[in-house]
Amino acid sequence: MTTAREVMSPGADCVRSDQSAADAARIMTEAGVGALPICGQDDGKIKGVVTDRDLVVKVIGKGRDPQSFPAGSLNQAEAVTIGADDGTEEVLATMTRYGVRRLPVIDGSRLVGMVAVADVARSLPNATTGDLVEALSAD
């Protein structure tokens, strides 16, 4: 069984919930990524994921100041994650169920990487990737 650990991009960065949207944008730019886990300022646990689209639509597009708008305010109601040793079937099911293109991978409560659709495309058969993309693109 192929696991999330085997297909993920390791070493994901995290923005703390008490940092600003501008900090999140800077970290994304430096890391060359379009999504970033939001971690609790005290416990370091995953609180959600902020995307470059979130920053544009929820901060810039609403006329909010990214220097003062807290990244933690971009959290989802529930953080969607996958365990590092969960199988790729569970990765695909979770991405499809929640309609997400990127999943933080945790080992216990520690962030160890991210699985994105691109990781799935590199690691799994084309038909599997096509099914995932189709499910995520459905209205």
- Which one, of 60, 78, 77, lies nearest residue 69 by Cα? 60
Q: Which residues of the chain have pLDDT under 70?
A: 76-77, 124-139
3-state helix, strand, coil in the chain (%, to 5): 40, 25, 35
pTM over 0.75: yes
Q: What is the pLDDT of residue 43?
A: 80
Q: Report domain extents, the chain.
A: 4-137
Q: What is the pLDDT of residue 54?
A: 92
Q: What is the pLDDT of residue 130?
A: 59
Q: Which residues are CB-neighbours of 119 under 8 A, at least 6 positions away?
A: 7, 8, 9
**Third-level CATH fold of 4-137:** CBS-domain (3.10.580)
